[in-house]
Structure 1
């Protein structure tokens, strides 16, 4: 799917929010500046977040517990080893909410059943969004929208 600009990237996040359920993990891959956090912001706004939505690069995990569906937004860019994930307790949210993970390649194999999204910058503000859709997302992920 081609996303023409930042607004289209935010709208893709909002569409994703409508399909999100407790226990879901969505991974967001792509180079710096590809739009991972922009897509996450669109998703979080659609779920009711009205405050600032910073990139969790320095905090590693930003919880949004008061949303209609609680979401934890993680950025693993600074993780050096997959075993560091245990200290973050990311799987705790999955009983009641969902997890968004930027830079999942820092913890390969950690979420084998995640909806894996990848953003690739094109010319200008355009991006290509590709998805690896697990069976648990069939019927919910509609890339044609």
Structure 2
């Protein structure tokens, strides 16, 4: 579990995620509306060296950012009720960049076989505070998690 006291801390962790991501990594962001999923993605983009403004792809479903160290494929599948298998998401999951999937838990069978899930929980008493759980699905995700936690521990010693 990682506790983040404010959006700035979320962006700090997210930058680490971007810096440690490797081509083909998949990240699923899970949590309530307003939990910080898009804030996290913006920080990940900065960590990848992307300067372009990152917007939620709620209505477009997928936004691609090519200018960073590796491409960022930002997906928001909140509005995908059915037909996710027709979107060609596996091309992104197996691609040369980092796939960040907001509401990825809604994809169920369409999720990649190997991914790291970040589960956001809002604090009931402090509106800016978040607790994150990192759950791995596969060996690649386990290594991704280890890289993130190693960097996070170094800056929080």
- Counterparts of 1:112 and 1:6, CA distance in 2: 30
Contact map agreement 1:10 1:41 (CA 8 A) in 2: yes
What TM-score do the two structures reach when normalised by structure 1?
A: 0.90
- Residue 13 of structure 2: SS of its match in structure 1? helix
Residue 66 (structure 1) aligns with: 67
- Residue 84 of structure 2: SS of its match in structure 1? helix
| 1:88 Cα deviation after fit | 2.5
Residue 98 (structure 1) aligns with: 98
- Counterparts of 2:60 and 2:86, CA distance in 1: 13
Task: Tell me the alpha carbon deviations over residues 42-79 of structure 1, each in whole angstroms, 9 at most, x when there is no partner.
Answer: 00011122121111111111101222100100000001
- Does 1:128 pair with 2:135? no
Residue 58 (structure 2) aligns with: 57
- Counterparts of 2:116 and 2:139, CA distance in 1: 9
What TM-score do the two structures reach when normalised by structure 2?
A: 0.84
Residue 85 (structure 1) aligns with: 84
